[in-house]
Structure 1
Amino acid sequence: MIADTTPSNAPEWSVSDLAGALKRTIEDSFGHVRVRGEISGFRGQHSSGHAYFCLKDQNARLDAVIWKGTYSRLRIKPEEGLEVIATGRVTTFPGKSTYQIVVESLEPAGVGALMALLEERRRKLTAEGLFETARKRPLPYLPKVIGVITSPTGSVIRDILHRLEDRFPRRVLVWPVRVQGETSAAEVAAAIRGFNAMAPGGTIPRPDVLIVARGGGSIEDLWGFNEEIVVRAAAESDIPLVAAVGHETDWTLIDHAADMRAPTPTGAAEMVVPVRMELLAGVHDLARRHMESVLRMLDRRKADLRSVARALPTPDALFASKRQKLDLASAKLGPALWRNARDHENRLNETSRALARVSPAARVATMRARLDGVGQRPHGAIGRVFESRAVKLGELGNRLNAARALLLRAEITRIGQQREIVLRLAERLGPAFDAQVARKRARSMASAQLFDSLNYKSVLARGFALVRDGEGRMLRSALAVSDGQPLVLEFVDGTADATGGRNGKPKAAGKSRASPTEQGALF
């Protein structure tokens, strides 16, 4: 076939000219716009100081950039998932044939839809107990088989295999899945359940621990690991599971449901196996220390045995002193028995003589002689005691009667005197109470008048106003008011809102004497 070579009168553009024309057209048409959307892909400022991210909604996304000078002046700094209203100009980037908005200011507009959905899902699953710490199981110390759920073509699986080879080579089963996209969540959940469905001792060995791994990315890239099907599969897994999704700062819902979270896929490999060389070195060191301790113990026991053997006495040395003591005791036994018998005989004689002196017959004879000496003297003594006691009792009764009559008359006299005093006091108390009430009333009225004269409400009634800032603090000077600051004006009949704005240059403090009203922040 022969191509159509009909000439065209359309002008030819170079790529640079066309890109420049498109840039000018877009900048002229959208020189100043306000765009509402959710911040996505923000990872902080670039090393140059600029900030790059995207604004998105449910249907589209728009690249955004904040230059270093503008970023430092922003009152609201960008945050991942924050819904904002961005003001700026739309331009193009010819190097990539893309368009973007150069942000000049940011205003918060609410929490992003994805973040709100993520938070709602997190609360729901937390309420069901899927994130409870008590459900999490410890990882096996040295698993025989490790199951890895990730993309077989990415760098993640290579990093994991390389780290396992360095630390402790183990058998690894890889279940290939998509880690991004619409089918990612279903494939990851199916892989977790597939590993758990393997029978122990089968043709394909059942893993002792699982690793779900993926590299870093935006919240949209990692969204598959926030799906409910993945979280429930991780929580239901009978095999201990390690989640290694994203970088250290990236958190997904599977991290909360897993038995262990690793900051990176490489970190997950380090968690599931120990270092083989360190274990071997530790075993060798323990064996060496054990052998050395056994040898030292044997040497010490031999030395102790020799020392004890040298210290043991001979049989003759053991019994020589005992034999000598026995001979001395047998020689002293006979004379000691005779002396003991004589001592006991003497003690028995002394005891019999002492008993004869205190025998019942001797005591009865002594008491009979004493009774005969007393005779009839007790009867006369008792009569005389009764007569003297009767006389004393009569005299005491007479004195008591006289004293009672005297006390009764004195008490009647005292009661009469106290009654007269009470009557006089009652007559004086009424006028004194009335005078005291009058004085208190006068002082109360004077205090009320003084309070009314000092109350700032009376000043407000004369047309003045009290100025406060948005937090209720009183402002005493125009220097304390910044442009655009919200103010509250208090009048005598209520309050009103205002916005701070200075008229003229405020006078410096101390150069002019303000009136008492101005010093109290009353206008």
Structure 2
Amino acid sequence: MSDVADTTPAEDGNAKPYSVSELAFALKRTLEDAYGFVRLRGEISKVTHHANGHVYLTLKDERAAIDGVVWKGQVRGLGIRPEQGLEVIVTGKITSYPAGSRYQIVIETMEAAGVGALLAQLERLKARLAAEGLFESERKQPLPSMPAVVGVITSPTGAVIRDILHRIRDRWPCRVIVWPVVVQGEAAAGQVSAAIRGFDAMEDGGPIPRPDVLIVARGGGSVEDLWAFNDEGLARAVAACRIPLISAVGHETDTTLIDFVSDRRAPTPTAAAEIATPILAELKAFVGDLGARMHRCGGRAVEDRRGRVAAAGRTLTRVSDLVELAAQRFGIVSGRLAAGLAKNAAAHERDLVRVSARLSPLLLQRPQAVQRQRLAGVSARLQPGVARGLERASERLGALSKLYVSVDPDRPLQRGFARVTRADGSIVQAGASLAGGEEVAIKFGDLVTRQAVIEGQASESASPAKAARPAKPAKPNPAASAQGDLF
């Protein structure tokens, strides 16, 4: 370690200055001397197979990570193929990369140590969500064919949003609403979930238009960089979203939990923009092609029917031939009509003359005389019976008239009698039944009714026999007569 620890003062009393290269290579030799052989256990989080045959990867645990490299000559001798998420035990030496001031492990051997803790946890969460049905294709919503508004949830400063906007602008003229979020770190999952719920809560016709489709986008990275998109809360927010959602997280080989829950997965953010929007030029060309095909089909249909009509017309008789034939038949018939009518009239005249010789008024008068005689006989038989019936009816009517006169209640009034009735209309049969002050109505022979009031009091001790006797006529009292009182 004398290369980096030599601090002997120079002749002028200052420490010896080192160049950057001297210090970097001195540190490199120190690491290689101190850690020339190490055995290391960790989880592979990122693997890159370079075109020159070397393999670059990252080993990590819960708190740290170290880059590693497997040179081309050692790749074939490895016991396993390096894959992301695989927990391995490697042997090698620690060295540094002077040009970048980074240290790394040069791997010589590699063996599997089990499935990585993070990926194992992810697999358990994935199995639980799959059992709940969040990955089922039946619950996934179809994407709109021609969206008017596209919502994008991503970082506003990265290249992803520029790629998406550029791709949408080239393909389809629509409005793009960007909800800025962080896409890496502990706050990423919460912000992306809030953005999804915020877009989903928008109402149609509001000040900010509701998107027809959503895109959750992020560029590529390691498992740790993309780990926020494996959050359970984010996955449930994606599943509950009522707007069709496209996940475009990482590159084509990167897979996160929301890729299984979303309605559509895109391999890259640019591909997500292509999936979400159609190509306007292609739609115009397609519509134009449909119009041309429609015109061609219509023209063929018209030509086909024109040919069929022409073929059918050749089998029909010409109109002039039909009219001429009918006119000829009409002329022949009309020429025969006058002679036929005269011949028919002459035949009927002959028949009438032949029949009229047998006709005589006596043929009609004889039946009339017979009916007249029968009517006279019937009348002669009916007249005595009718007369007797009328006589008996007259006698019964006379008897009923006499009976009516005899029972007429107003007839005795014409002989000087009067009929006394109470206020309720009942007839007074005995004067003793009237009480003093009681109002009565008296009807005379001229059918005039007068009102009167009874004076005095009725005798309570009067016997019914005495009450029934007619009262003796009272002597006329000149004074009473002058007052108009009946009693």
Q: Same fold (TM over 0.5)?
A: yes
Q: Kindly provide the CA deviation profile for residues 151-207 of structure 1, in whole angstroms up to 9, marking residues without a partner as x.
A: 111111111111111211211100011111111100100000000011111010000
Corresponding residue number in structure 2 for 1:445: none
- Cα distance 1:32–1:201, how it changes in 2: closer, same or farther (>3 A)? same
Cα deviation, residue 317, structure 1: 11
Cα deviation, residue 133, structure 1: 1.3
Matched, 1:97 2:101: yes
Matched, 1:240 2:224: no
Matched, 1:128 2:132: yes
Corresponding residue number in structure 1 for 2:268: 264
Cα deviation, residue 303, structure 1: 3.3
Matched, 1:19 2:24: yes
- Cα distance 1:182–1:318, how it changes in 2: closer, same or farther (>3 A)? farther
Give the Cα separation in 2 of the matches to 1:69 and 1:156: 37
Residue 300 of structure 1, aligned match among 304, 308, 318: 304
Corresponding residue number in structure 2 for 1:38: 43
Cα deviation, residue 315, structure 1: 4.7
Give the Cα separation in 2 of the matches to 1:299 and 1:35: 84
The letter of the residue matching 2:19 is S
Corresponding residue number in structure 2 for 1:365: none
- The alignment partner of 2:247 has SS state of strand
- Cα distance 1:318–1:304, how it changes in 2: closer, same or farther (>3 A)? farther
The letter of the residue matching 1:263 is P
Corresponding residue number in structure 2 for 1:56: 60
Corresponding residue number in structure 2 for 1:152: 156
- Cα distance 1:9–1:229, how it changes in 2: closer, same or farther (>3 A)? same
Cα deviation, residue 318, structure 1: 10
Matched, 1:227 2:198: no
Corresponding residue number in structure 1 for 2:449: none
Residue 310 of structure 1, aligned match among 308, 314, 317: 314
Cα deviation, residue 308, structure 1: 2.2
What are the equivalent positions in structure 2 for 1:25-424 lying under 5 Å apart?
25-43=30-48, 45-313=49-317, 315=322
Q: Kindly provide the CA deviation profile for residues 364-388 of structure 1, in whole angstroms up to 9, marking residues without a partner as x.
A: xxxxxxxxxxxxxxxxxxxxxxxxx
The letter of the residue matching 2:183 is V
Q: Kindly provide the CA deviation profile for residues 122-152 of structure 1, in whole angstroms up to 9, marking residues without a partner as x.
A: 1121122211111101101111111000111
Give the Cα separation in 1 of the matches to 2:274 and 2:125: 31
- The alignment partner of 1:166 has SS state of helix
- The alignment partner of 1:307 has SS state of helix
Q: Kindly provide the CA deviation profile for residues 184-239 of structure 1, in whole angstroms up to 9, marking residues without a partner as x.
A: 10010000000001111101000011000111111111001001111011000000
Unaligned runs of 5+ in 2: 1-11, 327-487
The letter of the residue matching 1:189 is S
Give the Cα separation in 2 of the matches to 1:52 and 1:148: 33
Moved over 4 A (4+): 314-319
The letter of the residue matching 2:54 is H
Give the Cα separation in 2 of the matches to 1:8 and 1:40: 50
Give the Cα separation in 2 of the matches to 1:133 and 1:292: 41
The letter of the residue matching 1:122 is K
Corresponding residue number in structure 2 for 1:338: none
Give the Cα separation in 2 of the matches to 1:63 and 1:289: 62
Which has the higher mean CA deviation after the structures are superposed, 286-295 or 243-252?
A: 286-295
Give the Cα separation in 2 of the matches to 1:279 and 1:188: 33
The letter of the residue matching 1:89 is K
The letter of the residue matching 2:43 is E
- Cα distance 1:160–1:315, how it changes in 2: closer, same or farther (>3 A)? same
Cα deviation, residue 264, structure 1: 0.9
The letter of the residue matching 2:197 is R
Corresponding residue number in structure 2 for 1:10: 15
- The alignment partner of 1:160 has SS state of helix
- 1 or 2, which has the higher helix percentage? 1
Which has the higher mean CA deviation after the structures are superposed, 10-19 or 115-124?
A: 10-19
Give the Cα separation in 2 of the matches to 1:227 and 1:249: 19
Cα deviation, residue 316, structure 1: 9.1
Alignment: residue pair count: 312
Corresponding residue number in structure 1 for 2:364: none
TM-score normalized by structure 2? 0.62
Give the Cα separation in 2 of the matches to 1:165 and 1:158: 10
Give the Cα separation in 1 of the matches to 2:133 and 2:301: 56
- The alignment partner of 1:296 has SS state of helix
CA-based RMSD: 1.8
Give the Cα separation in 2 of the matches to 1:240 and 1:221: 25
Find the structure with the greater CA-based Rg. 2
- The alignment partner of 1:308 has SS state of helix
Give the Cα separation in 2 of the matches to 1:299 and 1:104: 81
Give the Cα separation in 2 of the matches to 1:223 and 1:291: 56
Cα deviation, residue 18, structure 1: 1.4
TM-score normalized by structure 1? 0.58
- The alignment partner of 2:47 has SS state of coil
